[in-house]
Amino acid sequence: MSRFFVSPDAVGDNTIVIDSREDIHHLSKVLRLREGDSIDISDSVSWEYRCVITSMDKSAVLLKIIDKQSFAAEPETRITLFQGIPKGSKFETIVQKCVELGVDTIQPVFMDRTVVVDKGNYSKKIERLNKISAEAVKQCKRGMVPQVLNSIKVPEMIESFDDYDLVLFPYENEKGITIKDVLTDEPGAGATNIAVIIGPEGGFSEKEAETIVEAGGLSVSLGKTTLRTETAGMAAIAMILYELEL
């Protein structure tokens, strides 16, 4: 079943209107749907709908609501991934797979060992990453599209720590405390809004690691092996949701 996303203002009492030219083209020319066909709609906030197409033209598609349900595929645990910006196309893989796994928000962070240099046009990369997020959501049928935010630096990241119940800092030099230790005891057992901090290819500088821990980040191990930057965030998200939701 095909799924499309609309804003809440597009939803009426019994009808929904799709007016995005891109969605109309995809619906009519790519999927070749017609009047009477069924599709799923998400309002990107709280609700998902089963609908039937009642009319369509180049400017709009009108849908009749058949069924309305709260999101069924959204995790109750909200996870924000603070990702040290990697080089090349690695970030695209990170976004795609972390969205499929259930991440809530992805925050790119320029760190001491980030190789990529922001020449003032990194916002174009963010646009591309948000498109990848939207495509991944359609494939895995989540109810909302996780946002990839504009890039920040480490001090700005640290300022946001108070917004979270738990800040996990997977660190390659941590040998004592595992992520399981934290998630099965306080404060992890009761956390519903969690931040995960992943470094770039070269990991964290010692100064960064000290600053993050001093600010309240909990240094944890993800296991005996050292994971690549494009793998670590996925592993952490999967471990968190397995422990807290399954």
Residue-wise pLDDT for 98-123, tens only, equals 999 999 999 999 999 999 988 878 88
**Region 45-53: what's the mean pLDDT?**
92
E strand map for the chain: 3-5, 15-18, 38-42, 47-56, 61-70, 78-84, 105-110, 147-148, 152-153, 166-170, 193-198, 218-220
Q: What is the mean pLDDT of the chain?
A: 93
pTM to 2 decimals?
0.88
**Region 136-157: what's the mean pLDDT?**
92
**Region 143-162: what's the mean pLDDT?**
96
Using CA atoms, how far apart are residues 117 and 137, in angstroms rounded to an integer?
A: 29
Q: What does the pLDDT look like over 172-205, one tens digit per residue?
A: 999 899 999 999 987 788 899 999 999 999 999 9
How confident is residue 246, by pLDDT bands cut at 50, 70 and 90? Answer: confident
The proportion of the chain whose per-residue pLDDT surpasses 90, expressed as a percent, equals: 83
What pLDDT is attached to residue 236? 98
What pLDDT is attached to residue 188? 80
How confident is residue 1, by pLDDT bands cut at 50, 70 and 90? Answer: confident
